[in-house]
Structure 1
Amino acid sequence: MPIPGNPLGYTLVYAVESPAGPVLVDAGWNHQDAWLALRDGLAAVGIDVRTVRGVVVTHHHPDHAGLAGRVREESGGWIAMHEADVALVRLIRGMAGDLHRNFQADMMRRAGAGVDADAVASSSRPDPPALPDLELRDGDLIDLPGRRLRTVWTPGHTPGHVCLHLEDAGRLFTGDHVLPGITPHIGLYPYDRDDVDPLGDFLGSLDRVADLGDLDALPAHEWTFPDVAARTAEIRVHHEEKLERLLDQITALSPDALTIWDVAEQMVWNRPWTDLGPMQRGMAAGEAAAHLRTLEVRGTIRRVPGAPGDPVRFTAASR
C-alpha cells in the first residue's frame, strides 16, 4: 500500500483467510491511491473488499490505521485495536486545530526547542484514524473462526502496539515492532514525561517476541523474513549501543546540563540535523527523549532542578 510522500514508501497489508471471511492485518494510509491498491490487490487474489470480516490494526499510526474506516464502510466489518492505542485515538480525535498546535508548541519549549518550537508545532498532521469497534488486550484471540490469531501486546513504538501470532501456521505479524532492516521510531510524548519509559517497554517487548521462538515474520514494512527471535537480538544490541554512546556524550559534557533539544541536535540521524524539516526534528527530539528517559530509569543520568517553566535538563548522575 503506497504511502504518498513518505520515505518508507509503502505498508504491507495482509489478509488472513477463514471460512467466515478474511481479516486484514492493518489497512494502509488514507489516500485514494492506497485505497485502489488495497481494493485491486485483494481482488487479484480472489477477495472482494466487501467480504472483509474485520481489520486488526497493529497500532494507531496513519500508515496502518488510515484506511480501516473506509474498509468498515464498504464491508460492514469491525475494526480492532489494543485498548491503549484506542485511548490515544480518542485523545487525538478530541485535540484539533489550535488546541493541538498549542500543545505541540508548549511541549517543544519545555524541550528547549527555542525558535524551532513554533515551526514544529505548525507542521501538518494527518487526519486521525477511525475509532475502533473492539478493544484488544494481551492474549486475546481475534474473531476469526477456524483460525488461531492471538494478540501479543508489544508496547514501545506506541503504547498499544501489538504483534499477531498466527498459531495455526507458525507465523508472526510484527507490525512495526520487528522489521528486517530498520528499527521503528521509539519516541516519548510529551518529551519531559517521567511516568513512562517507552524504550524500556520496547526492549521488554522484544524479549516477549523472542520467547515465541524462530517464527517466520511478516512485518508491515520492507520484507518478510525467517527467525524473528534472531532479529530481536540484533535490534536490542542496536539500542544498547545507542544508549551507551548517548551516556558517553552526556558524561563528557557534564557538569553542563543539556536540554532534550541539545541532545537531539548531537545525536546521529540518517541526515544532518540542518537538513531535517520541522516534523523530522520533532520526531528526532521524541526519540532523544525516550533514550534519555531510559538512562534516567537506569540511574545513569538525572534531571537538574530548574525554575518553573524552564526546559527540562539532564546531566550525568555521578555529577
Structure 2
Amino acid sequence: MKDVEIPDGYAGLDFPWEAPPPEGEAIEVAEGVLWARLPLPMALDHVNIYFLREPGGWTMVDTGFDTRRTRAIVGALEAGPLGGLPIQRVLVTHHHPDHIGLAGLLQARGAELLATRTAWLMARMLVLDEQPLPTSETLDYCRRWGMDPEVLARRAAERPFNFADVVAPLPVGFTRIAEDETLELGGRCWRVARGDGHAPEHAVLFETEGDLVLGGDQLLPGISPNLGLYPTEANGDPVGDWLAACARLAPLARADQLVLPGHKTPYRGLPTRLASLRDNHVTALNRLEDHLATPRTGGECFAPLFKRRVDDGMYGLAFFEAIAHLRHLHLQGRAIRETRADGVWTFRAA
C-alpha cells in the first residue's frame, strides 16, 4: 500500500469524523453537544457552529453571517436537531463577522450574548462604521506599506467590505466573559483562556473536568488564521500577539482533548497543533528575513509567506498579513525600515 503524504497542519492529529454534517443537520460530538455548519461566500466556504444543551433550550457557539440563507439554515436546525427548543444564550469566540453575524438577531429574540469585552466593543463599533468608500486614512496606510498601485486605485473606487453588510445590529448590552473566569455552559464547567493575534481577546474555552475545547479560530487544524496588521491599530503586533498566545495556551493543552474549531473538522492532538501553529510563523519570519536581502515593500513580500498564488480575491488578506510579519521583524530589530522618495516604506534585513 502506497504511503499517503499528510499535509502540513494535519500531521500528528486525529480526526474522529471524516465528513462534516450536511447543511441543516448536526452531529453529536459529545453528550449534549452538537456540531453544525453554515456557508460562507468566500474561499473558506463554511464556519462551524456548536450547540450545547441547556435545561430549557440551547447555548449557541458562534453564529455565521447574517444572510437570508443563514437565517433559513438556523431555522431548520432549530426545528430539527434542536427539537424546537429556543436558543437561550449565544457565545461568540471573537468579533469577526462569520462568528458574530447573527448574534444581534438572536439577542432581539431574547438570547443572552456572551463575549469578551474587546470582541463586543470591536463588533459594535464596526457595525456602526459603515463606509461607502475607503477612508483617506486607509488609502494612505495601504500606500505607505506598499500596496500594488493598481490594486490600490481599484479599491479606492469600490465600496469596501462593511460589517453591516453581514452582521445584524447589536443591541446595547452583553454579558462579559474574561480570561481565567469559569462559567457553566451546557451543564459543563469551562475555563476561559485568551487568544490573540487573529483577533484581540479571542475567547478559547477549556472544559475543566472533561476533554472539550471550544477553539474558535485560534486553534484551527490544517490552516493558520489570518494575522493582519490593519489601520485600526497601525502600531500593533499581531504576529507577536499570536506567538505569545500560543505560549500562553500550551500549558492547558492535552493530547486527549477534542478541539471544536471555528473551521475545518474537530480533532485531537492539541499540543502538536499548538506547536505547529507557532512554528509556522517562526519559519515564515525566517523566510521573510532572507527575502529582505533585497529591500522590499509590503506588496513584494508574498512569495516567502504563501504557498499558493495570491489572486485578486485573496490580495487584501495576503497584504495585511505580509505587513504584519514585516512589522514584527522590524520590532525585533531584524529588519530596517526606510522611506522612499514617494513616501513608501521599504524593509531590508538588518
How many residues are aligned here?
305
**Contact 1:3–1:63 (8 Å) recurs in 2:** no
Instruction: Give the partner amino acid of 1:34.
Output: T
Structure 1 residues 110-129: aligned runs within 5 Å:
110-113=144-147, 114-121=149-156, 122=158, 124-128=160-164, 129=167
Secondary structure (helix, strand or coil) at the match of 1:302 reads strand
Cα deviations across residues 144-185 of structure 1 (Å, max 9, x unaligned)?
A: 484313321101101121111222432111001111111111
Structure 1 residues 1-319: aligned runs within 5 Å:
1-19=37-55, 21-48=57-84, 51-74=86-109, 76-98=110-132, 100-113=134-147, 114-121=149-156, 122=158, 124-128=160-164, 129=167, 130-131=169-170, 133-142=174-183, 144=185, 146-190=187-231, 193-194=234-235, 196-214=236-254, 215-250=257-292, 252-253=293-294, 256=295, 258-264=296-302, 266-269=303-306, 271-273=308-310, 275-277=311-313, 280-305=314-339, 310-317=343-350
Q: TM-score w.r.t. structure 2 length?
A: 0.79
Cα distance, 1:77 vs structure 2: 1.2
Q: Aligned partners of 1:90 and 1:29: how far apart in 2? A: 15
Unaligned runs of at least 5 residues, structure 2? 1-36
**Contact 1:172–1:216 (8 Å) recurs in 2:** yes
> Higher strand share goes to which structure?
2
Secondary structure (helix, strand or coil) at the match of 1:295 reads helix
Q: TM-score w.r.t. structure 1 length?
A: 0.86
Higher alpha-carbon deviation: 96-105 or 213-222: 96-105
Q: Aligned partners of 1:136 and 1:118: how far apart in 2? A: 42
Q: 1:53 to 1:141 in 2, by over 3 A?
A: farther
Instruction: Give the partner amino acid of 2:275.
Output: A
Unaligned runs of at least 5 residues, structure 1? none
Q: Aligned partners of 1:166 and 1:143: how far apart in 2? A: 9
Q: Aligned partners of 1:304 and 1:192: how far apart in 2? A: 21
Cα distance, 1:99 vs structure 2: 6.7
Q: Aligned partners of 2:128 and 2:184: how far apart in 1? A: 29
Q: Aligned partners of 1:204 and 1:64: how far apart in 2? A: 23
Secondary structure (helix, strand or coil) at the match of 1:12 reads strand
Cα distance, 1:225 vs structure 2: 0.4
Identity %: 29
Q: 1:146 to 1:268 in 2, by over 3 A?
A: closer
**Contact 1:218–1:224 (8 Å) recurs in 2:** yes
What is the match of residue 5 of structure 2? Answer: none
RMSD of Structure 2 on Structure 1 (CA) = 2.5
Secondary structure (helix, strand or coil) at the match of 2:260 reads strand
**Contact 1:12–1:220 (8 Å) recurs in 2:** yes
Cα deviations across residues 40-88 of structure 1 (Å, max 9, x unaligned)?
A: 2243333436x222111111111111111222223x0122222222232
Q: 1:170 to 1:143 in 2, by over 3 A?
A: closer
